[in-house]
Amino acid sequence: MIGAMRDSAETLLASGIQLAGWIRAGEVTSVAVVDAHIAQVERVNPVINAVVHDRFDAARTEAQAADARLAAEGPTALPPLHGVPCTIKECFGVQGMSWTSGHVARRDVRADTDAVGVARLRQAGAVVLGVTNVSELCMWLETSNRVYGRTNNPYHPAHIVGGSSGGEGAIIGSGASPFGLGADVGGSIRMPAFFNGVFGHKPSGGLVPNSGQFPIAHGDALRYLTTGPLSRRAEDLMPLLRILAGPDGHDTGCEAYHLGDPATVDLSSLRVLDLADDGRTRVHPELRGAQRSVADHLESLGARIEREPIAELRHGVEIWSAMLDAAGGTKFGVMLGDGTQVSLARHLLLWALGRSPHTLPALGLAGLERLSGITSGQLGKFVAMGHALRAELERRLGEHGVMLYPSYPVPAPKHYRPLLRPLRFGYTALLNVMQLPVTQVPLGLSTAGLPLGVQVGAAHGNDHVTIAVALELERAFGGWVQPARA
Protein backbone atom coordinates (compact mmCIF):
# COMPACT_ATOMS: atom_id res chain seq x y z
CA MET A 1 0.00 0.00 0.00
CA ILE A 2 1.37 3.42 -0.94
CA GLY A 3 2.55 5.38 2.08
CA ALA A 4 3.00 2.28 4.28
CA MET A 5 6.72 1.60 3.77
CA ARG A 6 8.28 4.65 5.45
CA ASP A 7 7.21 5.97 8.83
CA SER A 8 7.31 9.57 10.00
CA ALA A 9 10.44 9.03 12.09
CA GLU A 10 12.38 8.00 8.98
CA THR A 11 11.16 11.00 7.01
CA LEU A 12 12.44 13.37 9.71
CA LEU A 13 15.96 11.99 9.30
CA ALA A 14 16.18 11.77 5.51
CA SER A 15 17.63 14.20 2.99
CA GLY A 16 15.39 16.05 0.56
CA ILE A 17 16.75 14.02 -2.34
CA GLN A 18 16.06 10.79 -0.45
CA LEU A 19 12.52 11.93 0.34
CA ALA A 20 11.91 12.77 -3.31
CA GLY A 21 13.09 9.30 -4.30
CA TRP A 22 10.79 7.64 -1.77
CA ILE A 23 7.84 9.70 -3.02
CA ARG A 24 8.53 8.81 -6.66
CA ALA A 25 8.91 5.13 -5.73
CA GLY A 26 5.60 5.13 -3.86
CA GLU A 27 7.28 4.29 -0.55
CA VAL A 28 5.68 7.31 1.08
CA THR A 29 3.27 10.00 -0.05
CA SER A 30 4.04 13.68 -0.24
CA VAL A 31 1.08 14.20 2.11
CA ALA A 32 2.67 11.91 4.70
CA VAL A 33 6.06 13.62 4.42
CA VAL A 34 4.57 17.11 4.63
CA ASP A 35 2.33 16.13 7.56
CA ALA A 36 5.28 14.64 9.45
CA HIS A 37 7.31 17.83 9.09
CA ILE A 38 4.35 20.04 10.00
CA ALA A 39 3.85 17.95 13.14
CA GLN A 40 7.54 18.40 13.99
CA VAL A 41 7.30 22.18 13.48
CA GLU A 42 4.30 22.25 15.80
CA ARG A 43 6.23 20.20 18.36
CA VAL A 44 9.42 22.27 18.46
CA ASN A 45 8.34 25.77 17.45
CA PRO A 46 6.78 26.79 20.80
CA VAL A 47 10.29 26.46 22.28
CA ILE A 48 12.57 27.58 19.46
CA ASN A 49 10.32 30.15 17.66
CA ALA A 50 11.85 29.52 14.25
CA VAL A 51 8.86 29.47 11.86
CA VAL A 52 7.19 32.88 12.12
CA HIS A 53 4.48 32.55 9.44
CA ASP A 54 3.28 29.17 8.21
CA ARG A 55 1.30 28.08 5.17
CA PHE A 56 0.41 24.60 6.41
CA ASP A 57 -3.01 24.43 4.74
CA ALA A 58 -1.57 25.47 1.38
CA ALA A 59 1.32 23.03 1.82
CA ARG A 60 -1.09 20.14 2.44
CA THR A 61 -3.05 21.10 -0.66
CA GLU A 62 0.15 21.20 -2.73
CA ALA A 63 1.19 17.81 -1.33
CA GLN A 64 -2.16 16.33 -2.36
CA ALA A 65 -1.65 17.75 -5.85
CA ALA A 66 1.86 16.26 -5.93
CA ASP A 67 0.51 12.81 -5.11
CA ALA A 68 -2.21 13.17 -7.72
CA ARG A 69 0.34 14.18 -10.35
CA LEU A 70 2.49 11.13 -9.52
CA ALA A 71 -0.53 8.87 -9.94
CA ALA A 72 -1.47 10.51 -13.26
CA GLU A 73 1.95 10.95 -14.87
CA GLY A 74 4.20 8.39 -13.27
CA PRO A 75 7.60 9.01 -11.66
CA THR A 76 9.79 9.75 -14.68
CA ALA A 77 8.25 13.13 -15.56
CA LEU A 78 8.51 14.62 -12.06
CA PRO A 79 10.86 17.44 -11.02
CA PRO A 80 13.77 16.59 -8.68
CA LEU A 81 12.18 17.82 -5.41
CA HIS A 82 8.66 16.66 -6.19
CA GLY A 83 6.50 16.83 -3.06
CA VAL A 84 9.35 17.54 -0.63
CA PRO A 85 8.78 20.17 2.12
CA CYS A 86 11.15 23.01 2.85
CA THR A 87 11.33 26.35 4.65
CA ILE A 88 12.46 29.82 3.54
CA LYS A 89 14.24 32.65 5.33
CA GLU A 90 11.73 35.45 5.86
CA CYS A 91 13.83 38.05 3.99
CA PHE A 92 12.88 36.26 0.73
CA GLY A 93 9.56 36.99 -0.88
CA VAL A 94 7.16 34.05 -0.69
CA GLN A 95 3.87 34.99 -2.31
CA GLY A 96 1.26 35.87 0.29
CA MET A 97 3.65 35.46 3.23
CA SER A 98 5.12 38.00 5.63
CA TRP A 99 8.18 39.80 4.27
CA THR A 100 9.36 42.06 7.10
CA SER A 101 13.03 41.15 7.60
CA GLY A 102 12.30 41.69 11.28
CA HIS A 103 11.74 45.42 10.79
CA VAL A 104 8.75 46.91 12.60
CA ALA A 105 8.17 49.45 9.83
CA ARG A 106 7.48 46.49 7.50
CA ARG A 107 5.26 44.60 9.96
CA ASP A 108 2.30 44.51 7.56
CA VAL A 109 4.24 43.81 4.35
CA ARG A 110 3.31 40.67 2.44
CA ALA A 111 5.12 39.46 -0.66
CA ASP A 112 3.24 39.75 -3.95
CA THR A 113 5.50 37.28 -5.75
CA ASP A 114 8.11 34.65 -5.03
CA ALA A 115 11.77 35.60 -4.93
CA VAL A 116 13.79 34.01 -7.72
CA GLY A 117 15.33 31.38 -5.45
CA VAL A 118 11.93 30.50 -4.00
CA ALA A 119 10.39 30.25 -7.46
CA ARG A 120 13.18 27.94 -8.64
CA LEU A 121 12.72 25.64 -5.63
CA ARG A 122 8.97 25.49 -6.19
CA GLN A 123 9.43 24.84 -9.91
CA ALA A 124 11.66 21.94 -8.86
CA GLY A 125 8.73 20.53 -6.89
CA ALA A 126 9.44 21.76 -3.35
CA VAL A 127 6.52 22.50 -1.01
CA VAL A 128 7.08 25.56 1.20
CA LEU A 129 5.92 25.09 4.81
CA GLY A 130 6.55 28.66 5.94
CA VAL A 131 9.08 31.42 6.52
CA THR A 132 11.64 31.58 9.31
CA ASN A 133 12.91 34.24 11.68
CA VAL A 134 15.80 36.65 11.08
CA SER A 135 17.77 39.26 12.95
CA GLU A 136 16.55 42.84 12.53
CA LEU A 137 17.19 43.81 8.90
CA CYS A 138 19.40 40.72 8.65
CA MET A 139 22.43 42.39 10.18
CA TRP A 140 23.40 40.63 13.40
CA LEU A 141 24.44 37.18 14.50
CA GLU A 142 21.59 36.77 17.00
CA THR A 143 18.14 36.14 15.54
CA SER A 144 15.82 38.47 17.43
CA ASN A 145 13.58 41.33 16.41
CA ARG A 146 10.58 43.38 17.62
CA VAL A 147 8.22 41.78 15.11
CA TYR A 148 8.61 38.09 15.98
CA GLY A 149 10.84 37.92 19.05
CA ARG A 150 13.84 35.68 19.61
CA THR A 151 14.72 32.29 18.16
CA ASN A 152 16.30 29.68 20.45
CA ASN A 153 18.80 26.91 19.80
CA PRO A 154 17.23 23.43 19.39
CA TYR A 155 20.13 21.85 21.31
CA HIS A 156 20.03 24.33 24.21
CA PRO A 157 17.31 27.02 24.13
CA ALA A 158 19.44 29.32 26.33
CA HIS A 159 21.91 29.62 23.43
CA ILE A 160 21.81 31.58 20.18
CA VAL A 161 20.98 30.23 16.73
CA GLY A 162 23.13 32.71 14.81
CA GLY A 163 21.98 35.17 12.23
CA SER A 164 20.65 36.29 10.09
CA SER A 165 19.30 32.96 8.77
CA GLY A 166 18.93 31.83 12.37
CA GLY A 167 15.35 30.65 12.13
CA GLU A 168 16.28 28.59 9.09
CA GLY A 169 19.23 26.96 10.84
CA ALA A 170 17.14 26.23 13.94
CA ILE A 171 14.19 24.64 12.16
CA ILE A 172 16.45 22.43 10.04
CA GLY A 173 18.59 21.56 13.06
CA SER A 174 15.45 20.52 14.95
CA GLY A 175 14.56 18.03 12.20
CA ALA A 176 11.43 19.93 11.14
CA SER A 177 12.65 20.83 7.63
CA PRO A 178 15.01 18.86 5.38
CA PHE A 179 16.41 21.96 3.69
CA GLY A 180 15.83 25.67 3.27
CA LEU A 181 16.92 28.88 1.62
CA GLY A 182 19.23 31.38 3.30
CA ALA A 183 21.27 34.45 2.42
CA ASP A 184 24.77 35.37 3.54
CA VAL A 185 26.66 38.67 3.43
CA GLY A 186 28.81 38.19 6.54
CA GLY A 187 28.18 34.61 7.62
CA SER A 188 24.39 34.54 7.65
CA ILE A 189 24.16 31.01 6.20
CA ARG A 190 27.28 29.54 7.77
CA MET A 191 26.95 30.75 11.37
CA PRO A 192 23.35 29.50 11.73
CA ALA A 193 24.35 26.21 10.09
CA PHE A 194 27.27 25.93 12.53
CA PHE A 195 25.36 26.90 15.68
CA ASN A 196 22.50 24.52 14.80
CA GLY A 197 24.56 21.55 13.63
CA VAL A 198 23.56 21.40 9.95
CA PHE A 199 25.12 21.95 6.54
CA GLY A 200 25.16 25.34 4.85
CA HIS A 201 26.69 26.44 1.58
CA LYS A 202 27.72 29.98 0.68
CA PRO A 203 28.11 29.85 -3.10
CA SER A 204 30.83 31.50 -5.13
CA GLY A 205 30.16 35.20 -5.56
CA GLY A 206 27.86 35.81 -8.52
CA LEU A 207 26.72 32.20 -8.90
CA VAL A 208 23.15 32.49 -7.51
CA PRO A 209 20.90 35.53 -8.05
CA ASN A 210 19.77 37.45 -4.95
CA SER A 211 16.63 38.93 -6.53
CA GLY A 212 13.53 39.13 -4.40
CA GLN A 213 15.02 39.57 -0.96
CA PHE A 214 14.98 42.55 1.38
CA PRO A 215 17.28 44.17 2.21
CA ILE A 216 19.41 43.60 -0.87
CA ALA A 217 22.91 44.71 -1.78
CA HIS A 218 23.85 46.92 -4.72
CA GLY A 219 26.73 47.22 -7.15
CA ASP A 220 29.82 45.16 -6.35
CA ALA A 221 28.25 44.04 -3.07
CA LEU A 222 25.79 41.88 -5.03
CA ARG A 223 28.69 39.44 -5.36
CA TYR A 224 29.43 39.59 -1.62
CA LEU A 225 25.80 38.82 -0.75
CA THR A 226 25.04 35.20 -1.62
CA THR A 227 21.83 33.16 -1.68
CA GLY A 228 22.29 29.51 -0.84
CA PRO A 229 20.99 26.34 0.80
CA LEU A 230 21.00 24.98 4.33
CA SER A 231 20.26 21.27 4.79
CA ARG A 232 20.39 18.49 7.35
CA ARG A 233 22.18 16.19 4.88
CA ALA A 234 25.15 17.01 2.65
CA GLU A 235 23.77 15.21 -0.40
CA ASP A 236 21.17 17.94 -0.88
CA LEU A 237 23.69 20.75 -1.31
CA MET A 238 24.78 20.19 -4.91
CA PRO A 239 21.31 19.43 -6.31
CA LEU A 240 19.95 22.52 -4.57
CA LEU A 241 22.82 24.63 -5.88
CA ARG A 242 22.15 23.48 -9.45
CA ILE A 243 18.50 24.45 -9.05
CA LEU A 244 19.34 27.89 -7.63
CA ALA A 245 22.29 28.87 -9.85
CA GLY A 246 22.30 30.96 -13.00
CA PRO A 247 21.42 34.51 -14.09
CA ASP A 248 17.84 35.70 -13.79
CA GLY A 249 18.11 38.90 -15.82
CA HIS A 250 17.76 41.15 -12.77
CA ASP A 251 20.72 40.55 -10.45
CA THR A 252 23.54 42.36 -12.24
CA GLY A 253 26.17 40.58 -10.15
CA CYS A 254 25.09 37.11 -11.26
CA GLU A 255 26.85 35.29 -14.10
CA ALA A 256 26.68 31.86 -15.71
CA TYR A 257 29.30 29.46 -14.37
CA HIS A 258 29.99 25.81 -15.06
CA LEU A 259 29.22 23.74 -11.98
CA GLY A 260 31.44 20.74 -11.47
CA ASP A 261 30.49 17.35 -10.07
CA PRO A 262 31.51 16.44 -6.50
CA ALA A 263 31.81 12.80 -7.61
CA THR A 264 34.78 13.74 -9.83
CA VAL A 265 36.83 15.23 -6.99
CA ASP A 266 39.87 13.15 -6.06
CA LEU A 267 40.24 13.77 -2.33
CA SER A 268 43.70 12.17 -2.32
CA SER A 269 45.02 14.94 -4.57
CA LEU A 270 43.79 17.81 -2.42
CA ARG A 271 46.00 20.52 -1.00
CA VAL A 272 44.50 21.46 2.39
CA LEU A 273 45.24 24.82 4.04
CA ASP A 274 44.54 24.10 7.70
CA LEU A 275 44.14 27.57 9.20
CA ALA A 276 43.71 27.20 12.96
CA ASP A 277 42.62 30.77 13.70
CA ASP A 278 42.79 34.36 12.46
CA GLY A 279 45.76 35.28 14.62
CA ARG A 280 43.54 37.61 16.62
CA THR A 281 40.98 35.55 18.53
CA ARG A 282 41.62 32.26 20.33
CA VAL A 283 39.47 29.34 19.21
CA HIS A 284 37.77 26.96 21.66
CA PRO A 285 39.91 23.82 22.17
CA GLU A 286 37.09 21.46 21.14
CA LEU A 287 36.69 23.33 17.85
CA ARG A 288 40.45 23.26 17.30
CA GLY A 289 40.45 19.54 18.03
CA ALA A 290 37.56 18.87 15.64
CA GLN A 291 39.28 20.81 12.85
CA ARG A 292 42.55 18.97 13.46
CA SER A 293 40.65 15.67 13.23
CA VAL A 294 39.29 16.75 9.85
CA ALA A 295 42.77 17.59 8.60
CA ASP A 296 44.11 14.28 9.90
CA HIS A 297 41.32 12.39 8.15
CA LEU A 298 41.92 14.12 4.83
CA GLU A 299 45.64 13.46 5.21
CA SER A 300 44.86 9.76 5.75
CA LEU A 301 43.16 9.81 2.33
CA GLY A 302 46.31 11.18 0.71
CA ALA A 303 45.71 14.95 0.91
CA ARG A 304 48.66 17.26 1.55
CA ILE A 305 48.24 19.45 4.64
CA GLU A 306 49.74 22.95 4.88
CA ARG A 307 49.60 25.01 8.06
CA GLU A 308 51.39 28.23 7.12
CA PRO A 309 49.44 31.10 8.75
CA ILE A 310 48.16 34.06 6.73
CA ALA A 311 48.80 37.33 8.56
CA GLU A 312 46.04 39.30 6.80
CA LEU A 313 43.34 37.09 8.32
CA ARG A 314 43.58 39.05 11.57
CA HIS A 315 42.09 42.05 9.72
CA GLY A 316 39.03 40.12 8.51
CA VAL A 317 36.44 42.48 9.98
CA GLU A 318 38.23 45.60 8.72
CA ILE A 319 38.66 44.15 5.22
CA TRP A 320 35.01 43.08 5.07
CA SER A 321 33.77 46.43 6.34
CA ALA A 322 36.00 48.46 4.00
CA MET A 323 35.12 46.44 0.90
CA LEU A 324 31.39 46.63 1.65
CA ASP A 325 31.70 50.36 2.25
CA ALA A 326 33.59 50.85 -1.00
CA ALA A 327 30.85 48.97 -2.85
CA GLY A 328 28.34 51.67 -1.86
CA GLY A 329 24.66 51.14 -1.16
CA THR A 330 22.28 52.35 1.54
CA LYS A 331 23.74 52.76 5.01
CA PHE A 332 22.37 50.48 7.71
CA GLY A 333 21.31 53.42 9.89
CA VAL A 334 19.21 54.77 7.02
CA MET A 335 17.57 51.39 6.46
CA LEU A 336 16.87 51.20 10.18
CA GLY A 337 15.22 54.62 10.04
CA ASP A 338 13.08 53.49 7.08
CA GLY A 339 14.70 55.92 4.66
CA THR A 340 16.17 58.52 7.00
CA GLN A 341 19.07 58.22 9.43
CA VAL A 342 17.77 56.71 12.65
CA SER A 343 18.03 58.97 15.75
CA LEU A 344 20.31 56.95 18.00
CA ALA A 345 19.91 59.13 21.11
CA ARG A 346 16.12 59.00 20.90
CA HIS A 347 15.93 55.27 20.24
CA LEU A 348 18.49 54.35 22.88
CA LEU A 349 16.31 56.21 25.39
CA LEU A 350 13.21 54.46 24.07
CA TRP A 351 15.04 51.14 24.25
CA ALA A 352 15.91 51.76 27.90
CA LEU A 353 12.21 52.39 28.52
CA GLY A 354 11.25 49.23 26.60
CA ARG A 355 9.53 51.24 23.87
CA SER A 356 11.93 51.23 20.90
CA PRO A 357 10.89 49.29 17.77
CA HIS A 358 14.56 48.35 17.38
CA THR A 359 16.81 45.82 19.05
CA LEU A 360 19.94 46.91 20.91
CA PRO A 361 22.30 45.16 18.46
CA ALA A 362 20.70 47.01 15.54
CA LEU A 363 21.09 50.36 17.28
CA GLY A 364 24.65 49.43 18.19
CA LEU A 365 25.50 48.60 14.58
CA ALA A 366 24.04 51.90 13.40
CA GLY A 367 26.16 53.67 16.01
CA LEU A 368 29.33 51.84 15.04
CA GLU A 369 28.66 52.73 11.42
CA ARG A 370 28.62 56.44 12.28
CA LEU A 371 31.47 56.36 14.78
CA SER A 372 33.84 53.96 13.05
CA GLY A 373 36.22 56.82 12.34
CA ILE A 374 37.78 55.02 9.36
CA THR A 375 39.59 57.50 7.14
CA SER A 376 39.67 57.38 3.37
CA GLY A 377 43.29 56.30 3.62
CA GLN A 378 42.45 53.42 5.93
CA LEU A 379 39.54 52.47 3.71
CA GLY A 380 41.84 52.28 0.71
CA LYS A 381 44.42 50.34 2.71
CA PHE A 382 41.99 47.61 3.75
CA VAL A 383 40.35 47.41 0.32
CA ALA A 384 43.77 46.92 -1.25
CA MET A 385 44.63 44.36 1.42
CA GLY A 386 41.42 42.53 0.62
CA HIS A 387 42.12 42.35 -3.10
CA ALA A 388 45.67 41.16 -2.43
CA LEU A 389 44.43 38.54 0.03
CA ARG A 390 41.89 37.22 -2.45
CA ALA A 391 44.59 36.83 -5.09
CA GLU A 392 46.81 35.06 -2.56
CA LEU A 393 44.05 32.66 -1.49
CA GLU A 394 43.13 31.88 -5.09
CA ARG A 395 46.79 31.17 -5.83
CA ARG A 396 47.32 28.94 -2.82
CA LEU A 397 44.07 27.04 -3.29
CA GLY A 398 44.31 26.53 -7.03
CA GLU A 399 42.10 23.95 -8.72
CA HIS A 400 42.76 21.21 -6.16
CA GLY A 401 42.85 23.02 -2.83
CA VAL A 402 40.56 23.64 0.10
CA MET A 403 40.94 25.67 3.25
CA LEU A 404 39.76 24.60 6.70
CA TYR A 405 38.84 27.58 8.85
CA PRO A 406 36.89 27.99 12.10
CA SER A 407 33.28 29.07 11.77
CA TYR A 408 33.33 31.10 14.99
CA PRO A 409 35.72 31.07 17.96
CA VAL A 410 33.34 29.17 20.26
CA PRO A 411 30.28 26.89 20.01
CA ALA A 412 26.90 28.66 20.17
CA PRO A 413 27.12 31.27 22.97
CA LYS A 414 24.29 32.05 25.33
CA HIS A 415 21.87 34.78 24.32
CA TYR A 416 23.32 38.32 24.38
CA ARG A 417 26.93 37.13 24.90
CA PRO A 418 28.03 38.19 21.38
CA LEU A 419 27.32 41.80 22.37
CA LEU A 420 30.32 41.61 24.70
CA ARG A 421 32.68 40.64 21.85
CA PRO A 422 30.92 41.85 18.71
CA LEU A 423 33.71 41.49 16.14
CA ARG A 424 34.13 37.72 16.22
CA PHE A 425 32.12 37.29 13.01
CA GLY A 426 35.25 38.05 11.00
CA TYR A 427 35.84 34.33 10.56
CA THR A 428 32.88 34.14 8.20
CA ALA A 429 32.55 37.73 6.97
CA LEU A 430 35.98 37.89 5.36
CA LEU A 431 35.14 35.01 3.02
CA ASN A 432 32.16 36.91 1.58
CA VAL A 433 34.32 39.65 0.14
CA MET A 434 36.82 37.01 -1.00
CA GLN A 435 33.86 35.62 -3.06
CA LEU A 436 34.98 32.06 -2.28
CA PRO A 437 32.55 29.14 -2.10
CA VAL A 438 32.36 27.87 1.48
CA THR A 439 30.55 24.86 2.91
CA GLN A 440 29.79 24.75 6.61
CA VAL A 441 30.15 21.16 7.88
CA PRO A 442 28.80 19.85 11.22
CA LEU A 443 31.21 17.69 13.26
CA GLY A 444 29.17 16.28 16.11
CA LEU A 445 28.56 17.81 19.52
CA SER A 446 30.78 19.33 22.19
CA THR A 447 30.95 18.01 25.75
CA ALA A 448 28.30 20.64 26.56
CA GLY A 449 26.02 19.22 23.87
CA LEU A 450 26.46 22.07 21.39
CA PRO A 451 27.30 21.58 17.70
CA LEU A 452 30.89 21.64 16.48
CA GLY A 453 31.84 22.33 12.88
CA VAL A 454 34.26 23.80 10.37
CA GLN A 455 34.22 25.92 7.22
CA VAL A 456 35.57 24.35 4.03
CA GLY A 457 36.48 26.91 1.37
CA ALA A 458 37.86 26.64 -2.17
CA ALA A 459 38.81 28.78 -5.14
CA HIS A 460 36.05 30.73 -6.87
CA GLY A 461 33.84 28.43 -8.95
CA ASN A 462 34.94 25.29 -7.13
CA ASP A 463 31.72 24.84 -5.18
CA HIS A 464 31.71 21.15 -6.08
CA VAL A 465 35.06 20.70 -4.33
CA THR A 466 33.90 22.01 -0.96
CA ILE A 467 30.71 19.96 -1.26
CA ALA A 468 32.73 16.84 -2.09
CA VAL A 469 34.70 17.36 1.11
CA ALA A 470 31.47 17.91 3.04
CA LEU A 471 30.09 14.60 1.75
CA GLU A 472 33.21 12.78 2.88
CA LEU A 473 33.25 14.45 6.28
CA GLU A 474 29.60 13.54 6.81
CA ARG A 475 30.49 9.92 6.05
CA ALA A 476 33.49 10.00 8.39
CA PHE A 477 32.13 12.08 11.28
CA GLY A 478 28.38 11.55 11.13
CA GLY A 479 27.07 14.98 10.11
CA TRP A 480 23.88 16.32 11.67
CA VAL A 481 22.93 14.91 15.07
CA GLN A 482 19.21 15.04 15.89
CA PRO A 483 18.78 17.11 19.09
CA ALA A 484 17.58 15.19 22.14
CA ARG A 485 14.92 17.86 22.68
CA ALA A 486 13.50 17.28 19.20
Closest to 485 in 3D by CA, of 233, 264, 196, 229: 196
Residue 1 has pLDDT above 80, yes or no: no
How confident is residue 253, by pLDDT bands cut at 50, 70 and 90?
very high
* 149 to 193, 317, 338, 416: CA distances (angstroms): 20, 28, 20, 14
Residue 307 region by backbone torsions, left for phi larger than 0, else alpha for psi between -120 and 50, else beta: alpha
Cα-flanking dihedrals φ and ψ of residue 310, to 5°? -120, 110
pLDDT at 4: 53
Q: Domains along the chain?
A: 8-477 (3.90.1300.10)
Residue 371 has pLDDT above 80, yes or no: no
Residue 2 has pLDDT above 70, yes or no: no
Sign for the pseudo-dihedral over CA of 156, 162, 182, 464 = negative
Query: Structure pTM?
Result: 0.96
Residues serving a catalytic function are 89, 164, 188
**pLDDT 10s digits, 42-100:** 999 999 999 999 999 999 999 999 999 999 999 999 999 999 999 999 999 999 999 99
**pLDDT 10s digits, 428-440:** 999 999 999 999 9
Mean pLDDT, residues 395-417? 97
How confident is residue 231, by pLDDT bands cut at 50, 70 and 90?
very high
